[in-house]
Structure 1
Amino acid sequence: MFAVPLDDDAQLRPLEPWQAEEFLAHIDRGREFIGRYVGLPDLVTDLASSRAFLRGYAEKAASDTGRIYGIWVADRLVGGVLFPRMDVPNGTAEAGCWLEPSAVGRGLVTRAARLIIDWAITTRGLHRVEWRVAAENAPSIAVARRLGMTRDGVLRESYRYRGERQDIEVWSVLAPQWRAARPPEPPATA
């Protein structure tokens, strides 16, 4: 298993079905906060649904149509980033995130999203990564801005969430834009 440092005590790691119990405990801790804009707490309600959710992402990873990663602080799962959809043949993906209240304000989601977007563009060769967000979700919109994404537009009342129609903003970054904004690679040392 790999772990990528996000800061002194935070790491980004794959989130896998064997971690279903830990994932459920994390969702339970942040259920209300996470559920303000994201449907994840409605999908993960018990151990069976937690395992099924993570198994679904394992299947997506195996078919190259999605990925999910957890953010751990001091070995405690506090959030994550994911590609709910990847269309590698067409060079597109959608990225997303969630976070429990204990980890808010540290820049963890921005750093984690930057890592997975960089992987998608530079390693996998994708051309476009989208960020779809409820128009009311100011923190997630701020992440899109920090990632250098462009607001493509609003899908008015396109998403029914907990019985109400929501506007969804679509943000994106294109591969040439992403590459141009990356800091230069340090020179190799002999």
Structure 2
Amino acid sequence: MFAINLGDDGAELRPLEPWQAEKFFAHIDRGREYIGRHVGLPDIVKDVPAARAFLQAYADKAAADTGRIFGIWLEGTLVGGVMFRTMDVAQGTCEAGCWLEPTAAGRGLVTRAVTVIVDWAVEVRGIHRVEWIVASANQASINVAKRLGMTHEGTQRELYLYRGERHDEQIWSVLAPEWRKRRAA
């Protein structure tokens, strides 16, 4: 297994795999309420078997080259993650996403981790368009999109039902030439 250093604060980015289901479940359980405010992951990962199934689905996506999932580790503890929810290499598109425990919020971990995976998608996999789809109420995630230099393309009003309420969803994106220009600056 590999780890990518995310800075001098002991943060690392590592693949998440089915054999890590217990740690993944414990992490989701620690942040269940906080993560679940805007992300449905805690509703899916209700126990260790569900955690294993979720991670297996991403292992299958990785094998099919249609998605990836990575954990953000801080001083050896899983505190969040980033993913490519979808990836269509033939079309050159993907959707990145994230989640984080409250104890790890405000440290720039997600921005650093997403920078690593977008670099990989653009420079290694040849992805042309990276999307960031976010609940309009999730200001922290919107701020990540802004810090990454993404463009707000629009808001889909009352697009989806989550926990009994209708929610707006924003679409942000960055194109490969924009990403490269920003990274070179």
Q: Which residue in 1 is equivalent to 2:162?
A: 161
Q: Which residue in 1 is equivalent to 2:130?
A: 129
Q: Which residue in 2 is equivalent to 1:3?
A: 3
CA distance in 2, matches of 1:181, 1:74: 30
Q: Secondary structure at the match of 1:7?
A: coil
Q: Which residue in 2 is equivalent to 1:82?
A: 83
- 1:15-30 alignment to 2 at 5 Å? 15-30=16-31
- 1:1-190 alignment to 2 at 5 Å? 1-8=1-8, 9-183=10-184
TM score, norm. by length of structure 1: 0.95
* Consecutive unaligned residues in structure 2, runs of 5 or more: none
* Consecutive unaligned residues in structure 1, runs of 5 or more: 185-190
CA distance in 2, matches of 1:117, 1:159: 26
Runs of 4+ in structure 1 displaced over 3 angstroms? Answer: none
CA-atom RMSD in angstroms: 0.8
Query: Which one has the largest radius of gyration?
Result: 1
The percentage of counterpart residues that share the same residue type is: 66
CA distance in 2, matches of 1:83, 1:16: 14
CA distance in 2, matches of 1:103, 1:5: 16
Aligned length: 184
Q: Partner amino acid for 1:113?
A: V
